[in-house]
């Protein structure tokens, strides 16, 4: 398994992700992630050291089985679960993530933000990445997902 480019962009048919130092950015397409895409993502997430996860969605989200896989997954490096921020224009999705964040507490710190709130999300994640750099990465991954319609990894 190798990244699409030297900058570690992984673009699969139903999700895309990239890592910038201790931050992983994950973008969901408009549909539920395909099982093989989800398996690739879980493998990547379990093998790489990171402390923060920023998720953006074009409308798709993991199904219940995929969420259960995340809940039962452990990091190979033994690190605690990363702080997780969701960027979503869905008010219902943001409320749901907020409720889960309260319920899970420090076992799985998570918080939701509006898509334009990249800076507050990065601050909450405790990530020292420039917001403009992360916005460009989000745009690049989202555009690559939109272009990925043939079921093959793109090289965006």
CATH number reported for the structural domain that contains residue 52 in this entry: 3.30.750
This prediction's pTM: 0.83
Is residue 110 domain-resident? yes
């990244």: which residue's tokens? Answer: 3
The CA distances from residue 135 to 33, 36, 42, 69, in Å, are: 22, 27, 23, 28
Q: Is the pLDDT of residue 2 over 60?
A: no
Does residue 153 fall inside a structural domain?
no
Nearest to 57 by CA among 132, 133, 141, 155: 141
Q: How far apart are CA 125 and CA 26, in angstroms?
A: 14
**pLDDT tens sequence across 117-127:** 999 999 999 99
Model pLDDT for residues 11-36, shown as the tens digit of each residue = 999 999 999 999 999 999 889 999 99
Residue 72 lies in a domain: yes
**Separation CA 66–CA 78 (nearest Å):** 21
Would the CA dihedral through 71, 9, 128, 78 be positive or negative? Answer: positive
Q: Which residues of 55-68 are buried (b: 16+ CB within 10 A; e: fewer)?
A: bbbbebbbeeebee
pLDDT tens-digit map of 73-107: 755 556 677 899 999 888 878 777 777 767 666 66
| Tally of domains within the chain | 1
Domain of 77 in residue numbering reads as 10-147
H or E segment to which residue 15 belongs = strand 15-20
Residue 135 lies in a domain: yes
Asked if residue 156 is part of any domain, the answer here is no
Residue 118 included in any domain? yes
């Amino acid at each position: 398994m190798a990244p699409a480019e030297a900058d570690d962009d992984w673009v699969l048919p139903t999700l895309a992700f990239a890592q910038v130092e201790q931050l992983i950015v994950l973008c969901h397409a408009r549909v539920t992630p395909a099982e093989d895409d989800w398996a690739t993502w879980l493998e990547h997430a379990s093998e790489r050291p990171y402390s923060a996860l920023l998720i953006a969605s074009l409308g798709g989200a993991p199904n219940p089985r995929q969420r259960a896989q995340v809940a039962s997954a452990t990091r190979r490096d033994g690190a605690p679960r990363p702080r997780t921020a969701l960027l979503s224009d869905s008010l219902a999705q943001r409320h749901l993530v907020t409720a889960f964040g309260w319920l899970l507490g420090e076992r799985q710190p998570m918080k939701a933000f509006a898509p334009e709130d990249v800076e507050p999300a990065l601050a909450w994640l405790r990530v020292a990445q420039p917001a403009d750099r992360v916005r460009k990465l989000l745009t690049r991954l989202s555009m690559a997902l939109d272009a990925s319609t043939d079921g093959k990894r793109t090289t965006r």
